[in-house]
Structure 1
Amino acid sequence: MRRRKDSDQHLRHRDWFGSRLPLISLRYALAVAECLNFRHAANRLGTSQSSVSARIKALEEHLGIMLFERRHRGVRLTEAGRSFIVEVTAGIEHLDHAIKTAGAFSTGLVGRLHIGLHSLIAGGFLADLRRRYREEYPDVDLVIAEGRSADTIRQIREGSLDIAFVVGAVDAPDCHSREIWSEALVVAMPAGHRLAMGDHVLWQDLTSDVFVVRQGGAGPQARDHIVRRIAEQRKSPNIQRLDIGRDSLMHVIADGDGITLTTDSARHVQFPGVVFRPIADEPERAQFSAVWSPHNRSQALKNLLDLAAEMSRST
């Protein structure tokens, strides 16, 4: 007999937790628990008293417990009812929070974006883009990673980066890419360089200089451009490739160990002992593109791309 009773109780709990309770019935129960009156709860819910009464009765029958003691002028929660209402209240609050959070993620108002860069930029278009995005979407975390263009595009494919900003043409047919902005090319040189006093330089003035470029970041693109321009002057370039970061490169320049080719945004960072001069006879500009995966459906990413396009049109 005891086994039969335990079995029946087990089945009742299994049916309870395995079934789906209508959310509207739970909200009706919360309203009644707060008002302790079916008529007042019905007025608050904008429905009839009979509808509220029927819902509560069906809920109690479904659970197999009495939630409310009916009285002449209202109702009172039973002990089981009080326990049930406490748990339901917490559950409804969690559900509401989950719905609001999911909605925020779906609209790109909350989340995280992993961004790959060829080098950290303190000024220029990209810095303005990051600032504007933070202002418009303050609850989206921007995680910045610096690396070689080839590495960042690989990370786009793997899904560890949402977007990468790279210099030059993008050879990634399995990725989406879009040209976003461009910058003038400039030469960074020691403050004591023979050309530092002028407002600009010419390529023919640089044929005897040692160019120092990075192995990573935009270094390969800079090297190829230097080789082409010096060859046009019918000279052979003297290029040293160093596996260092941008800041270390600028320290090498400040020490007088050579000059380098960079873009106008580098002017926004103050490097003691380094000056930047535009190249008057340089016909090209450095083109910067955004690269992202066609499989990335992040709304936060779309918002960033839309903002970048808007800023690009305005400039």
Structure 2
Amino acid sequence: MCEVPLSPSLTQMPNAIALRHLRYFVAATEEGSFRKAALSLSVQESSVSRRIRNLEDQIGASLFHRHSSGVALTVAGERFLPAARKALRTLTEGTRDIQVIARGDLGSVRIGIFSSLASGFLADLFQAYGTNHVQVRMDFIDGSPADHLSAIRRLEIDVAFLTGTSKRPDYDSAELWSEKVFVALPEHHHLTAKTEVKWTDLTDSTFIVSDAPPGQEIHDFLVMRLAELGHHPQIEPQRVGRDNLLPLVAFGRGLTVTSESTTAACFPGVAYRPIQGERLPFCAVWSPRNDNPAFRRLLSLAKHLSKSKISRQTNFGAWPSQNPGLSQ
């Protein structure tokens, strides 16, 4: 073969060129010898010589001057070397990035939330996950259970943390933790004298709920619980979000109920008391078609954290049989 400089088209390496050909070529260049290149690669010298000859045939130019003491690059070889190194570097970096993503150490997780992040299980989970996976971005989406389930089905979010324990067709789920249910009262309300309240203490109370999620779920929960006692509660919807509902409690507009994690957020003039025997279960829901490694790592951590917390709890009390959402 004649020795000619590589044309621009030849620097765009043909698809048929294998990664191994490039690796052998670069090793021979760096070692100055096929024999030394073979030793560095732990292969036979004949294999290096054959692969490089195949590479030269493919690109149509001689890459090395061959002599008794070793090899030296031709002009074509000198032109080809930067492209070969760049290709190897790109493939190596790409492979490393894919491996990082496959381990769940890179990427993003889209999370639907329906409960407070102020404290409790989710606060612990996201703090631990963020510490151990600093290159994974967590995107949080607030919404109703129906919104989240629809987004999961379309793979627009990876997971939603919802109330209840019921199985949902076409979704995977895992029950993870439970929280006490609290009533939020004005700080001077007569029930604040109690360390905990019963539903029978609340039968004559006026309740307020938000018209935004999870207001409807709280409305249904109150109706269900007080109907069991033969009472129909007085419930007044308020056209405010969660952040403004509790100040209305402080103003004396009515009581509301909420989950334990929400009580970490202090609102002036508001007191919380647990409702006796009432606990609220929470679960993670996701699509069985979801193969996001970063999400799978989050789910694995959530299950591990759940087991460690459950082992420390010996009495859950009675869990609601329905799927109320009280994380207001």
- On whether the aligned pair clears a TM of 0.5, the verdict is yes
Structure 1, unmatched stretches of 5+, are 1-8
From 31, 36, 54, the equivalent of 1:35 is 31
The equivalent residue for 2:109 is 113
The equivalent residue for 1:260 is 256
Secondary structure of the equivalent of 2:289?
coil
From 123, 131, 134, the equivalent of 2:130 is 134
In the TM superposition, what is the alpha-carbon distance from 1:258 to its structure 2 partner? Answer: 1.5
Alpha-carbon distance between aligned partners in 1 of 2:170 and 2:239, rounded to the nearest angstrom: 29
| Range with bigger deviation, 91-100 or 117-126 | 117-126
Alpha-carbon distance between aligned partners in 1 of 2:295 and 2:283, rounded to the nearest angstrom: 15
From 200, 214, 224, the equivalent of 2:196 is 200
From 272, 282, 295, the equivalent of 1:288 is 282
Alpha-carbon distance between aligned partners in 2 of 1:175 and 1:205, rounded to the nearest angstrom: 39
Q: For the structure 1 residues 19 and 145, does the alpha-carbon distance in structure 2 shift closer, same or farther, using more than 3 Å as the test? A: closer
- Give the aligned CA root-mean-square deviation in angstroms: 2.5
Q: Write the mapping of 1:1-315 to structure 2, written as runs, cut at 5 A.
A: 18-170=14-166, 172-280=168-276, 283-314=277-308, 315=310
| Range with bigger deviation, 154-163 or 253-262 | 253-262
Alpha-carbon distance between aligned partners in 2 of 1:120 and 1:278, rounded to the nearest angstrom: 17
The structure that is helix-richer by fraction is 1
Secondary structure of the equivalent of 1:100?
helix
In the TM superposition, what is the alpha-carbon distance from 1:17 to its structure 2 partner? Answer: 5.2
In the TM superposition, what is the alpha-carbon distance from 1:75 to its structure 2 partner? Answer: 2.6
Secondary structure of the equivalent of 1:99?
helix
Secondary structure of the equivalent of 1:66?
coil
Q: Which runs of 4+ in 1 moved over 6 A?
A: none
| Range with bigger deviation, 168-177 or 261-270 | 168-177
| Deviation sequence 1:112-165 (CA, Å, 0-9, x none) | 111101144211111112122223333322211111111111111111111111
| Deviation sequence 1:204-250 (CA, Å, 0-9, x none) | 33233221112333322321221233334443311122343321222
Structure 2, unmatched stretches of 5+, are 1-5, 311-328
| Structure 1 counterpart of 2:182, one-letter code | V
Alpha-carbon distance between aligned partners in 1 of 2:215 and 2:307, rounded to the nearest angstrom: 28
Secondary structure of the equivalent of 2:83?
helix
Alpha-carbon distance between aligned partners in 2 of 1:33 and 1:144, rounded to the nearest angstrom: 51
| Structure 1 counterpart of 2:180, one-letter code | A
Q: For the structure 1 residues 153 and 242, does the alpha-carbon distance in structure 2 shift closer, same or farther, using more than 3 Å as the test? A: farther
Alpha-carbon distance between aligned partners in 2 of 1:277 and 1:46, rounded to the nearest angstrom: 71
Q: TM-score, normalization: structure 2?
A: 0.84
Alpha-carbon distance between aligned partners in 1 of 2:129 and 2:95, rounded to the nearest angstrom: 24
Kindly, what percent of the aligned residue pairs are identical? 38
| Structure 2 counterpart of 1:302, one-letter code | R
In the TM superposition, what is the alpha-carbon distance from 1:171 to its structure 2 partner? Answer: 6.6
Alpha-carbon distance between aligned partners in 1 of 2:53 and 2:150, rounded to the nearest angstrom: 60
Alpha-carbon distance between aligned partners in 1 of 2:282 and 2:9, rounded to the nearest angstrom: 62
